[in-house]
Amino acid sequence: MPPPKPQPPKPSATAERTAALINALSVNALSAEDPTPHTVAAVLREHGEADPVELSAHDITEMRAVAEMLREVFAADDVDAAAATLNHLLRLTPGPLRLSSHDGLTIWHPHLDSTDDAPWGEWFLASSCLALTVLLWNRQRPPGGICASSTCWNVYVNQGSGLPRRYCSRRCATRERVATHRRTRA
């Protein structure tokens, strides 16, 4: 009996990969250096991309441009703004929606990029738009946000149906609570 085929990631896992890539690719005052193909490939591997992950400087440039566009989805104030931004970005994908099994290596799953060997920038935009669209559709709220900490630029994915998050991590939330506490005590 052949081994089972790996399952494609769930939309929430793909959205988490999107957020991690946006954070790795974004230019901000806190970045010590520009992302390299090596560092971005490491993020892709952390989120399940199989080797070989070969990225060029040109790929990074294209992916950074996509990251800036996708950041707007996370910056949306409400579900209508997030949907409008996603609709705009979906028009930029090569589409149409197609099914792929990556030549039998995975189960059939949807793709919006032109081919299974699409350029990294095209793949990043298409796979991210598809995942964020499904999250917005399922939850009827923006799929994520930008950290409310004044010292952080990271985006994050909202999990589940509870209260929306304000911070990308517990570390940022704790740092802000401590800073607020110190200001009120001073």
How far lies 177's CA from each of 12, 97, 157, 172, 180, in Å? 28, 44, 21, 9, 5
80 pLDDT higher than 70: yes
Kindly report, residue by residue over 126-177, the tens digit of the pLDDT.
999 999 999 999 999 999 999 999 889 999 999 877 777 899 988 998 888 8
Cβ atoms < 10 Å from Cβ of 35: 21
C-alpha 115/C-alpha 73 separation (Å) is 25
Q: What is the pLDDT of residue 31?
A: 60
- What mean pLDDT value characterizes the chain? 89
* Structural domains of the chain, ranges and CATH numbers in brackets: 11-146 (1.10.3300.10)
Give the distance from CA 118 to its chain's centroid.
18
Per-residue confidence (pLDDT) for residue 8, from 0 to 100? 61
Residue 137 in tokens: 């559709």
Residue 127 or 183, more confident:
127
Please give the pLDDT value at position 5: 57
| Residue 3 reports pLDDT greater than 70 | no
Using alpha carbons, select from 22, 5, 3, 12 the residue that is nearest to residue 146: 22
Give residue-wise pLDDT tens across range 58-74: 999 999 999 999 999 99
Contact 129, 116 (CB under 8 A): no
Q: How many CB atoms are located within 10 Å of the residue 109 CB?
A: 13
pTM (2 d.p.): 0.88
For residue 33, the model assigns a pLDDT of 75
Q: What is the pLDDT of residues 45-54, one digit of tens each?
A: 999 888 889 9
